[in-house]
C-alpha cells in the first residue's frame, strides 16, 4: 500500500539519526557519554565507539578526560570535521558571549545508569515485542521524544546496541507508558548549582 505524504514524512522523521541545530549544524541523536572514564579507559572507549559508528562524543572540563577523549579521537583516525564533540566549561567560565542560538535537550544518564528503570514493564514489554533490549527501547523513547541521548558504555557490544535504535518505533501508547514512569524526583544534578 502506498504511503501518504504525511505518513512518509512521519516515517522519515522516525528514522532520522540526526537533528539540525542550526543551518549546517547537525547533531547525531545518540552520542557516547564519557564520564566517569578517564585516561586509557576513556581513550579506548572513544576510539572503539568511533569504530562502531558513533559520530557524537560528550565530554566536559569537569570530567577530567578531555585529553584522553582527544587521544581516542586521534587514534580513531577520523577527520575532526566528521565528528560532533560536546564539551562543557566549568561555571567560572560561563558567560553569554559566544553562546550560539542553537539548542536541543540532551539526556544525560539516559539509561538511568543501567538501574531499575530498565526492568520496568513499560520498557521490557516493547523490548520483547520488537526483539530489542530494554536499553534500546529507552534510547528509542528518548530520540522519539526529540531528545539527544548520550549513553555511556565502555563495552563493544553495548556500544553497538545503544547506537542501533533507528530501525523501529514505539507506538503513542508505548511512549505514554514510559512517560508515566516519571517519579517526580528532582533532577539528580542541577547544572546551575553543580557547575556545568
Ligand X SMILES: NC(=O)c1ccc[n+]([C@@H]2O[C@H](COP(=O)([O-])OP(=O)(O)OC[C@H]3O[C@@H](n4cnc5c(N)ncnc54)[C@H](OP(=O)(O)O)[C@@H]3O)[C@@H](O)[C@H]2O)c1
Ramachandran bin of 124, using left for φ above 0, alpha for ψ from -120 to 50, beta for the remaining angles:
alpha
- Report, in Å, the least distance between residue 38 CB and ligand X: 11
| Residue 16 engages ligand X in binding (rule: CB under 6 A) | no
Q: What's the CA gap between 187 and 13, in Å, rounded?
A: 29
Binding mask 20-39 for ligand X (x = CB under 6 A): -------------xxx----
- CA-based diameter of the chain, in Å? 58
Q: Which stretch binds ligand X (CB under 6 A): 11-19, 91-99, 105-113, 173-181?
A: 105-113
3-state helix, strand, coil split of the chain in percent (to 5) is 45, 10, 40
Q: Which stretch binds ligand X (CB under 6 A): 17-25, 46-54, 90-98, 145-153?
A: 145-153
User: Could you give the C-alpha distances from 192 to 34, 63, 93, 109, 183, in angstroms and in order?
Assistant: 21, 17, 13, 17, 22
Q: Give Cβ neighbours of residue 3 (< 8 Å, ≥ 6 apart).
A: 11
Residue with CB nearest ligand X? 33
**Residue choice 76, 140, 161, 174 for contact with ligand X (CB under 6 A):** 161
Q: What's the CA gap between 113 and 167, in Å, rounded?
A: 24
**Residue choice 109, 124, 145, 169 for contact with ligand X (CB under 6 A):** 109
| Residue 174 engages ligand X in binding (rule: CB under 6 A) | no
Q: Which stretch binds ligand X (CB under 6 A): 14-22, 119-127, 148-156, 178-186?
A: 148-156
Binding mask 63-102 for ligand X (x = CB under 6 A): ----------------------------------------
Q: What's the CA gap between 16 and 2, in Å, rounded?
A: 20
- Report, in Å, the least distance between residue 111 CB and ligand X: 3
**Residue choice 50, 137, 150, 163 for contact with ligand X (CB under 6 A):** 150
DSSP run (H or E) holding 144: helix 134-144
Q: What's the CA gap between 82 and 87, in Å, rounded?
A: 16
| Residue 165 engages ligand X in binding (rule: CB under 6 A) | no
User: Cα-flanking dihedrals φ and ψ of residue 145, to 5°?
Assistant: -85, 0
Footprint of ligand X on this chain (CB under 6 A)?
Answer: 33-35, 58, 108-114, 133, 135, 150-155, 158, 161-162, 189, 194
Amino acid at each position: 500500500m502506498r504511503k501518504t505524504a504525511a505518513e512518509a514524512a512521519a516515517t522519515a522523521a522516525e528514522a532520522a539519526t540526526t537533528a539540525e541545530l542550526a543551518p549546517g549544524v547537525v547533531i547525531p541523536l545518540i552520542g557516547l557519554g564519557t564520564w566517569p572514564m578517564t585516561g586509557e579507559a576513556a581513550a579506548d572507549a572513544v576510539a572503539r565507539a568511533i569504530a562502531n559508528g558513533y559520530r557524537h562524543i560528550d565530554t566536559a572540563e569537569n570530567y577530567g578526560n578531555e585529553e584522553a577523549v582527544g587521544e581516542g579521537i586521534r587514534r580513531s583516525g577520523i577527520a575532526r570535521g566528521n565528528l560532533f564533540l560536546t564539551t562543557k566549561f566549568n561555571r567560572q567560565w560561563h558567560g553569554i558571549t559566544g553562546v550560539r542560538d542553537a539548542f536541543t535537550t540532551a539526556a544525560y544518564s539516559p539509561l538511568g545508569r543501567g538501574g531499575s528503570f530498565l526492568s520496568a514493564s513499560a520498557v521490557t514489554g516493547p523490548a520483547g515485542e520488537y526483539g530489542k533490549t530494554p536499553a534500546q527501547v529507552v534510547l528509542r523513547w528518548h530520540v522519539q521524544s526529540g531528545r539527544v541521548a548520550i549513553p555511556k558504555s565502555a563495552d563493544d557490544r553495548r556500544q553497538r546496541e545503544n547506537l542501533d535504535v533507528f530501525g523501529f518505533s514505539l507506538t503513542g501508547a508505548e511512549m505514554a507508558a514510559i512517560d508515566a514512569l516519571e517519579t517526580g524526583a528532582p533532577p539528580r544534578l542541577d547544572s546551575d548549582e553543580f557547575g556545568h
